[in-house]
């Protein structure tokens, strides 16, 4: 029996340098000429879960410890847990390890129903301020933190992982799968003046590793 091929809704018009197939996804590890940054990375193959339950704060029910208040996030062991509201949390797996959804009715796998992108590197927030009126540089918030609102006029979940006064750093965002083409085109067009280019999973993994090292120090 032929395995079902899984496809991200995002496509980049860039030459692939290195790729691999993992869990029936074709994953780009690196593109030719990724440049010095900033970078846009397609993370569509990364597992995403949605957890909704009235007892979400009780780990004995869901088996998961979640942040206590909406807008706060945990980043640990390549897993990002984002508290959305009183009864809902998003769980984004950023590593390459196989994941198994918990045996609990409150969990839903939303991997193949959403766009999942990372934008990071030099001038990342110069690009972002052309895309959204949300305050991604809010000095009152400690990274990582979640914002929910429009980016490119599309309802999104956006987690700011790293930010610096020179507008470098980066964020990860997700939205409905149907917006993939228009979202990617708008982001790349807005970032052209800053040298924004597509990059592969390897560059993203290096960035997440650096962010986690900074957090633990």
Largest Cα–Cα distance of the chain, in whole Å? Answer: 54
Whether 9 maps to a domain, the answer reads no
Residue-wise pLDDT tens digits, 15-48:
999 999 998 999 999 999 999 999 999 999 999 9
**Whether 118 and 210 share a structural domain:** yes
Cβ atoms of 90 and 143 within 8 Å: the answer is no
Host domain of residue 72: 48-109
The reported pTM is 0.94
CA distance 198 to 177: 19
Q: Per the structure, how many domains does the chain have?
A: 2
- Looking at residue 102, its pLDDT comes to 83
Low-confidence residues of the chain, pLDDT below 70? 1-3, 216-217
**Whether 124 and 212 share a structural domain:** yes
**Whether 116 and 188 share a structural domain:** yes
Whether 8 maps to a domain, the answer reads no
Q: Final residue of a domain: which of 58, 81, 109? A: 109
CA distance 95 to 25: 14
**Whether 185 and 123 share a structural domain:** yes
* Contact partners, residue 50, CB within 8 Å, separation at least 6: 88, 89, 90, 91, 107, 108, 110
């Amino acid at each position: 029996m032929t395995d079902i091929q899984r496809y991200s809704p995002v496509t980049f018009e860039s030459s692939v340098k290195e790729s691999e197939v993992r869990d029936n996804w074709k994953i780009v590890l690196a593109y030719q000429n990724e440049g010095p940054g900033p970078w846009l990375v397609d993370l569509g193959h990364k597992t995403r879960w949605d957890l909704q339950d009235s007892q979400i704060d009780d780990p004995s029910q869901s088996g998961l410890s979640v942040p206590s208040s909406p807008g706060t996030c945990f980043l640990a062991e390549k897993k990002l847990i984002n508290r959305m509201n009183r009864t809902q949390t998003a769980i984004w797996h950023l590593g390459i390890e196989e994941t198994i959804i918990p045996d609990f009715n409150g969990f839903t796998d939303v991997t193949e129903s959403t766009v999942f992108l990372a934008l990071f590197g030099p001038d990342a927030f110069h690009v972002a301020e052309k895309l959204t009126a949300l305050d991604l540089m809010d000095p009152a918030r400690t990274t990582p933190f979640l914002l929910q609102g429009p980016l490119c006029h599309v309802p999104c979940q956006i987690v700011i992982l790293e930010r610096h006064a020179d507008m470098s750093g980066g964020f990860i965002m997700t939205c409905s799968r149907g917006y993939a083409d228009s979202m990617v085109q708008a982001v790349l067009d807005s970032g052209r003046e800053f040298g924004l280019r597509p990059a592969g999973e390897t560059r993203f993994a290096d960035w997440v590793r650096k962010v986690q090292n900074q957090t633990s120090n």
